[in-house]
Amino acid sequence: MNTYSLRALATSLLQNVRLKFIYIALIIGLINVIPGLLPGTSQYMILSVVIAVLLCASHHGYVTASLKILTGHKNDVSEVEDGFVFIRRFFDLFPTYFLALIASYLPFLIAGVAFFLFNKSGVTLLISFIKNPQSSVLSKSADLTDILLLVWGVAVVCYIFKIYIDLKLKMTGYFLEFKGYKGFKALKASWKMMKGKIGLLIRLYLSFALTYVVSLFISSMAYSFFNNEVGLIFSVIIMALCEAYFIEPLLEMSIGVMFMQSLQVTITPNENSGM
């Protein structure tokens, strides 16, 4: 199992159903840009976080669509049913994905609690700076500089751990859908499956890096053309379109192939496919 074979098989499986997968990816992508389009005020930031949390299971549409294709039921792939599956099955899907979300941000939570417990004076200084960043006294404080450097350094380390946890839990949705595992059982199964496969998954993501950079450049051009809120809306929509067309179908299908091959389950692309 390697990146080339995953992509090659995924490309073959997407025949005659790629357009539907693109629509599913577009629905999921546009839904997930909603939190980022809200105003940057404190009230809307809280609302944005709440919406983002509620949407944590929105990517499950990739899982359901991929598994239908992988098990030979291409005709059952539905833009509406799979694109909005997280709404239709919210109470079934949300608890497991919410646990995965908490696990993903656990490094930040641990670091934040530790910082608060062992450096309360630093927390006070940091809060004062956030409330009044223009203060000349604070901005020239050597203690504040050290604290900001520490915060940024810890944030980078935490983000690296977050990426690792996200990769280890990548198959959670597949175990939820294919095996019926829920909660910690699904997380544990994904963590176990991804042992020794993190490098492969990273290489798979990196194989789309150039496409992602080009998509990002196109969307940034749209923003620079307007250079205002309208430009921001256009840029995120264009980015969602680019990802839905050029990246997500093949990427998510490849991950599905990786899941089935890891379980050593036979992939049956022709059954009930209309081919």
User: How far is the C-alpha of 96 from the C-alpha of 163, rounded, in Å?
Assistant: 18
Residue 273 domain-assigned (yes or no) = no
CA atoms lying within 13 Å on the CB side of residue 211: 16
Which runs of consecutive H residues, i.e. helices, occur in the chain?
Answer: 3-13, 18-32, 42-54, 60-70, 79-83, 85-88, 90-104, 106-118, 120-131, 136-139, 142-168, 172-174, 184-193, 198-206, 209-226, 229-242, 248-263
Label residue 30 left, alpha or beta by phi (over 0 means left) and psi (-120 to 50 means alpha). Answer: alpha
Residue 232 domain-assigned (yes or no) = yes
Residue 124 domain-assigned (yes or no) = yes
Are the beta carbons of 253 and 63 closer than 8 angstroms? no
User: Cα angle vertex 112, ends 110, 118, to 5°?
Assistant: 100
What is the DSSP secondary structure assignment for residue 228, as one 8-state letter? S
CB atoms near residue 168 (< 10 Å): 22
What is the DSSP secondary structure assignment for residue 246, as one 8-state letter? I
- CA-to-CA separations, 126 to 111, 130, 135, in angstroms, rounded: 15, 6, 12
Residue 270 domain-assigned (yes or no) = no
Residue 219 domain-assigned (yes or no) = yes
User: How far is the C-alpha of 10 from the C-alpha of 66, rounded, in Å?
Assistant: 9
Range of the domain at 180: 3-263
The pLDDT of residue 133 is: 58
- CA-to-CA separations, 242 to 20, 43, 57, 215, in angstroms, rounded: 15, 31, 22, 6
Residue 226 domain-assigned (yes or no) = yes
User: How far is the C-alpha of 225 from the C-alpha of 221, rounded, in Å?
Assistant: 6
Coil, helix or strand for 97? helix
User: How far is the C-alpha of 102 from the C-alpha of 144, rounded, in Å?
Assistant: 30
The pLDDT of residue 141 is: 55
Q: How many domains does one find in the chain?
A: 1
Digit-by-digit pLDDT tens for the chain (275 residues) are: 799 999 999 999 999 999 999 999 999 999 998 887 776 666 678 888 899 999 999 999 999 999 999 998 999 999 999 999 999 999 999 999 999 999 999 999 988 888 777 766 666 666 665 666 555 445 555 566 777 787 888 899 999 999 999 999 999 999 999 999 999 999 999 999 999 999 999 999 999 999 999 988 888 887 777 766 777 788 888 888 999 999 999 999 999 999 999 988 777 765 544 33
Residue 271 domain-assigned (yes or no) = no
User: How far is the C-alpha of 222 from the C-alpha of 168, rounded, in Å?
Assistant: 35
The residue type of 170 is: K
Residue 274 domain-assigned (yes or no) = no
Give the residue from 49, 53, 31 showing the smallest Cα distance to 40: 49
Prediction pTM value: 0.86
The pLDDT of residue 149 is: 80
Give the residue from 195, 176, 191, 163 showing the smallest Cα distance to 97: 176
The pLDDT of residue 123 is: 66
